[in-house]
A and B are shown apart, each in its own frame.
Chain A
Amino acid sequence: MTQYFNEMYHGGKVRAPYARLEDWMNAMPAELRTLKQAEAEELFRRIGITFAVYGEGGDPDRLIPFDMFPRVFTGGEWAKLERGIKQRARALNAFLMDVYGRGEIVRAGRIPARLVYQNDAYEKAVAGIKPPKGVYSHIVGIDIVRTGPEDFFVLEDNCRTPSGVSYMLENREIMMRMFPDLFRGNRIEPVDRYPEMLRRTLASVAPQKCSREPTIVLLTPGPFNSAYYEHSFLADLMGIELVEGQDLFVEGEFVWMRTTEGPKRVDVIYRRIDDAFIDPLCFRPDSTLGVPGLMDVYRSGGVSICSAPGAGVADDKAVYTFVPEMVRFYLGEEPILQNVPTWQCGKRDDLGYVLDNLGDLVVKEVHGSGGYGMLVGPKATKAEVEHFRAKVTSDPGNYIAQPTLALSTTPTFVAEGVAPRHVDLRPYCLVGERIELVPGALTRVALTEGSLVVNSSQGGGVKDTWVLAE
């Protein structure tokens, strides 16, 4: 029987950061809790924050479940996490600058050339580009799990367009509205600086050709995208325009936005559309979501694209294995945050081990995300395991495997009262002129008892995440 670290109760005692929450929990009668839960749901529905679940059909405006029980970190715990996250974000960006430049890390034999240069996410089109401040990935979402009081592991990196930050902000907003007393009694670090911090980060990477206050826009694929709410929410909070491809056009050396007062030059594009769709002249010719000619403007220094096309080569699950090596190679430091041990099914020895131990491992597709195409060995049926055995055997290079981690739990409101449920953590690190992050993150919780899959697309929920002031 695996022992899971409970972030509230440990060694028969309530851990210090949760002390006040125990009183709060005990003082809340069941009727009040039901009432509050309904109120929270009503608030979320009114704000319009929903999450469409890919491939499952059903109600696209389904609410992502919100759990009212906050997750809490001490200032000390957070300080260490913050150092580790920033270190990783720095290393990932150094890696991107390098592999689109001289490729020193490959020449030094520290990562196989094949993994980088034959990677689907490697974009030949950006080779040689030196983006402003040397940043390719401006918003780095790093998924972290905890297995003990001092034990944190990075599960994966997201260097392209990590989503979910609107939940971090809304969860806090709603908790403060529903339980103002909680916030009077606890000194909780605020997270509401995030939009301004993001705006400042984007402004700091304006292209050299921009010699005035930069015009920043958020480029969305449109209302049919599952994260559209977040796109409009962030644009609104940052006070920038939310645009679709058709609102922008290229003329001469620059990108322009159509406005009622005529064309306005755009300097920085925070894009929430995938590389392949961003410019039909450079990538998929059939894409209607992007802006024809955008890449030529970008490559000649007329506009900044955040994150840069091609940034995904750093967050691939096979490249992930080498991130600690990147930290050592580029920064000359030891990694503060550890990786989860990972087997590359593309390696013969690793493949043998994985196939022999499928029932105990988590197997993921190298390019998968959102919890799709993933096997959780201990929770899978025999048929599912065999199905994966066939998939992995036929295309080993497309899979990696990791041990099933004993994800920590935090108390969560469930039908029967309060019970431990597994959680993970996604902080959002901003990289521009400076590297910074707000003291807070998105906590995802697997609401099904015993489940280790926290993805919202797989029925996970979210929690407010507190960092206590020291």
Chain B
Amino acid sequence: MLLSVDHVTRYSYDQPVRAVMQSHRLTPSVFDGQKVVNWKVTVSDGIQGGSFRDGAGDRVQSWTVKGPVSEIEVRVHGTVETTDLAGLLRGHRELVPPEVYLVNSPPTTADAALIALAEASRDAEGSLATAHRVAAAVADAIAYRPGATHAHTTAAEALALGEGVCQDHAHALIACARVLGLPARYVSGYLFATADGSAHEAAHAWGEVFIAGLGWVGFDPANRCCPDERYIRLGSGSDAQDAAPIRGTARGLGEESLDVTVAVQNLQQ
């Protein structure tokens, strides 16, 4: 597919702020499943900082806005050519060893219910079959319902609630995979919502599980599939916060409000 992305994040402050600092992972990953045709990120009044590819293979770019400002707009626009690799992250250059992604942070720490869910998903055919079963079990156990959870909901809380969004699905998948000794991580990116009009957000998140012999394989419990040509991968982390496409701080007492619009279109229709 040839997917075009328009992603605008607008921060508004009720009082002006200064020294806004943002760290972005807003550039599509480089691997066999996707090729950037063009891509541009702009930040209103922003000064571009250093840029580098980190150990996990993500392009990181920082920005500063001196201020005082009452509004900041981060605009992402670009086109990516995608190929269906059945979830495989083939040809992705990274240095961080998979074992690093066995370490839990609070949102992915398993409680008894998550451990039980994980244990019930073991498959005699091996890690790949097990990971598929974990993803299916998470999808069954947590119904998609926007607004049921918030940014800091843990996997254990979402499972107890039985409802959540893609972030909760990904956290639960990661928690269960790690219980079974499989390295797992959080991936943020975009999704081209299908023609059937399903409500899933275009700004999306899913999980990756490391399968010996195959490498990293993506699983999206929210959509009961592995990432294919409808997906654009931006970056990864051990949990949602670690993988956030934008992390930022600002100085000042201004209360922040956020408005995000994401549109992903297929240019080959």
Contact = CB atoms under 8 A, between A and B. Distances in A.
Contact of B99 (A118, A125, A253, A300): A118
B27 interface: no
Contact of A251 (B51, B55, B64): B64
A281 B56 contact: no
B23 A296 contact: yes
B124 interface: no
B54 interface: yes
Nearest to A129: B55
A194 interface: no
Contact of B50 (A102, A124, A249, A301): A301
A75 to B, nearest CB: 45
A280 B95 contact: no
A210 interface: no
A117 B100 contact: yes
Interface string B38-71: 0000000001111111111000101010100000
Contacts of A103: 97
A300 B60 CA distance: 9
Contact-size category for A: 20 to 34
B15 interface: no
A359 interface: no
Contacts of A250: 21, 49, 62, 64
Contacts of A302: 50
Interface in B143-162: none
Contacts of B241: 285
Interface in B169-183: none
Contacts of B249: 280-281, 292-293
A122 B95 contact: no
Nearest to A120: B103
A122 B51 CA distance: 23
Interface string A109-132: 000011001100010111111000
Contacts of B19: 249, 292
Given A128-B55, A251-B47, A118 B23 contact: no
Contacts of A125: 54-55
Contact of A127 (B51, B95, B99): B95
Contact of B95 (A102, A106, A252, A281): A102
Interface in A124-150: 124-129
B247 to A, nearest CB: 5
A126 B66 CA distance: 27
Given A127-B56, A281-B247, A300 B51 contact: yes
Interface in A245-259: 249-253
A127 B62 contact: no
A100 B96 CA distance: 8
Nearest to A282: B23
Interface of A: 100-103, 106, 113-114, 117-118, 122, 124-129, 249-253, 280-282, 285, 292-293, 296-297, 299-302
Interface of B: 19, 21, 23, 47-56, 60, 62, 64, 66, 95-97, 99-100, 102-103, 238, 241, 247-249
23 contacts: A100-B55, A102-B95, A113-B97, A117-B97, A124-B56, A127-B54, A127-B100, A128-B53, A128-B54, A250-B64, A251-B49, A251-B66, A253-B49, A281-B248, A282-B23, A285-B247, A293-B64, A296-B23, A296-B49, A296-B52, A297-B49, A299-B50, A301-B50
